[in-house]
Amino acid sequence: MAKKRPIALLSELASHKETFGGDMPLAPGHRMCIGCGIPPIVNEVLLAVDKPTVVATATGCLEVTTGVYPVTAWNTPWIHVNFQSTGAVIGAIETAYKVLKKKGVIKDDEDIEFVAFGGDGGTYDIGFQSLSAAVERGHNFLYVCYNNEGYQNTGYQKSSATPIGAYTKTTPVGKARVGKQEPRKDLTMIMASHGIPYVAQASPHVFRDITKKVRKALSFKGPKFINVLQPCTLSWRFSPEDTMRLAKLAVETLYWPVYEVINGRYWKVNIKPKRVKPIEEYIAAQPRWKHVLKYPEIVEKIQKEVEEKWNLLLHLEEMSKKLAEDEGIDYEELFKAPEDKK
Per CB under 8 A, 96 contacts other proteins: yes
Q: Which residues share a beta bridge with 228? A: 146, 202
In whole angstroms, the minimum distance from the beta carbon of 32 to other proteins comes to 13
Per CB under 8 A, 91 contacts other proteins: yes
Nearer to other proteins, 129 or 239 (CB): 129
Residue 191 neighbours by CB distance under 10 Å: 28
- What lies within 8 Å, CB to CB, of 318 at 6+ separation is none
CA distance 208 to 131: 26
Q: Which of 7, 33, 81, 329 is in the footprint of other proteins by CB under 8 A?
A: 81
CA distance 123 to 53: 20
Nearer to other proteins, 14 or 250 (CB): 14
The span of 83-91, 142-150, 248-256, 272-280 binding other proteins (CB under 8 A) equals 83-91
Q: Which of 30, 41, 43, 80 is in the footprint of other proteins by CB under 8 A?
A: 80
* Cα 242 to Cα 12, 191, 246, 257, distances in angstroms: 18, 30, 6, 19
In whole angstroms, the minimum distance from the beta carbon of 106 to other proteins comes to 6
Q: Which of 26, 36, 90, 217 is in the footprint of other proteins by CB under 8 A?
A: 90
Q: Is residue 193 within 8 Å of residue 128, measured between CB atoms?
A: no
In whole angstroms, the minimum distance from the beta carbon of 80 to other proteins comes to 4
Nearer to other proteins, 130 or 230 (CB): 130
Nearer to other proteins, 141 or 207 (CB): 141
Segment 112-151, which members bind other proteins (CB under 8 A)?
Answer: 112, 129-130, 132-133, 137
Segment 49-78, which members bind other proteins (CB under 8 A)?
Answer: 52, 54, 56, 63-64, 67-70, 72, 74-78
Rounded to the nearest 5 degrees, what angle is found at the Cα of 302, between the Cα atoms of 296 and 306? 140
Nearer to other proteins, 119 or 165 (CB): 119
User: What contacts 24+ positions apart, CB below 8 Å, involve 9-16?
Assistant: 10/39, 10/40, 10/43, 13/40, 13/43, 13/207, 14/43, 14/47
Per CB under 8 A, 334 contacts other proteins: no
* Cα 231 to Cα 24, 35, 143, 235, distances in angstroms: 22, 9, 19, 9
Residue 14-53 contact track with other proteins, rule CB under 8 A, x = bound: --------------------------------------x-
The SS3 call for residue 325 is helix
303-324 CB burial, b ≥16 within 10 A, e <16: bebbeebbeebeebbeebbeeb
Q: Is residue 58 within 8 Å of residue 80, measured between CB atoms?
A: yes
In whole angstroms, the minimum distance from the beta carbon of 55 to other proteins comes to 9
Selection from 200, 81, 90, 97 nearest residue 135 by Cα = 90
CA distance 309 to 304: 8
Nearer to other proteins, 49 or 279 (CB): 49
Per CB under 8 A, 87 contacts other proteins: yes
Chain residues that interact with other proteins, rule: CB under 8 A: 52, 54, 56, 63-64, 67-70, 72, 74-82, 84-85, 87-93, 95-100, 102-103, 105-106, 108, 110, 112, 129-130, 132-133, 137
